[in-house]
Amino acid sequence: MGLRTIAEAAGVSAALVIHHFGSKDGLRKSCDAYVAEVIRDAKSESMQTTDPASWLAQMSEIESFAPLVAYLVRSMQSGSDLAKSFWRTMLENAEQYLEEGVRTGVLKPSRDPKARARYLAICGGGAFLLYIQMHENPTDLRTVLHDYGEDMVLPALEIYTNGLMADSTMYDAFLAQREKGIPFSGPDAEAAIRPEGA
């Protein structure tokens, strides 16, 4: 989409956009920063309270995030350098608000907070993209967000709260291999599992 079209949609002149942002990329960076800040603030707010009424109130407003989510989806799908930079910011923000949750006692600490934040952000983003693709009306993001909340929040909270595995056997085995510096796949992993002559 051209800068002139963007300016017309915003009800301003292209010259004014250039004056404030310098270029289309400058505008994009400002939009990225705004979206990342709004999402970080909303997530941080939910990590700073143990009041169920606050969590439920936030959830009741999920549909109001439709314009931001539309922007996020387009950014995820573009694959541009700006999009990658934006997502690096989102991952850093996720690490920060998860740590806030640990400090307030809402979340358990992690042995690797950075890896946990990355995993949750990537899983959440990827799962939401797949949900959109499977939705009967993928262009109506208000409806998609409403349905996503109704379908996915309780299963997610169950897994986050109660866990999935019956015990820690699998985690302990993989952690032990990681601590020995052995990769999980490839020739080195196979050699560790099946020593020569075994």
The tens place of each residue's pLDDT in the chain, 198 residues long, gives: 777 788 787 788 778 878 788 888 888 888 888 888 888 888 888 888 888 898 898 889 989 989 988 888 888 788 788 788 888 888 999 999 999 999 999 999 999 999 999 999 999 989 999 999 999 999 999 999 999 999 999 999 999 999 999 999 999 999 999 999 989 998 877 777 776 555
From 91, 110, 1, select the one nearest 40 (Cα to Cα).
91
Rounded-to-integer distance, Cα 161 and Cα 155, Å:
10
Cβ atoms 141, 65 nearer than 8 A: no
Domain ranges within the chain, ordered by starting residue: 29-164, 168-198
Cβ atoms 95, 76 nearer than 8 A: no
In this structure, which topology does domain 29-164 adopt according to CATH?
Answer: Tetracycline Repressor; domain 2 (1.10.357)
Mutual angle of helices 66-78 and 113-134, in 10-degree steps:
100
- Model confidence pLDDT, tens digit, residues 45-102: 888 888 889 889 888 998 998 998 888 888 878 878 878 888 888 899 999 999 999 9
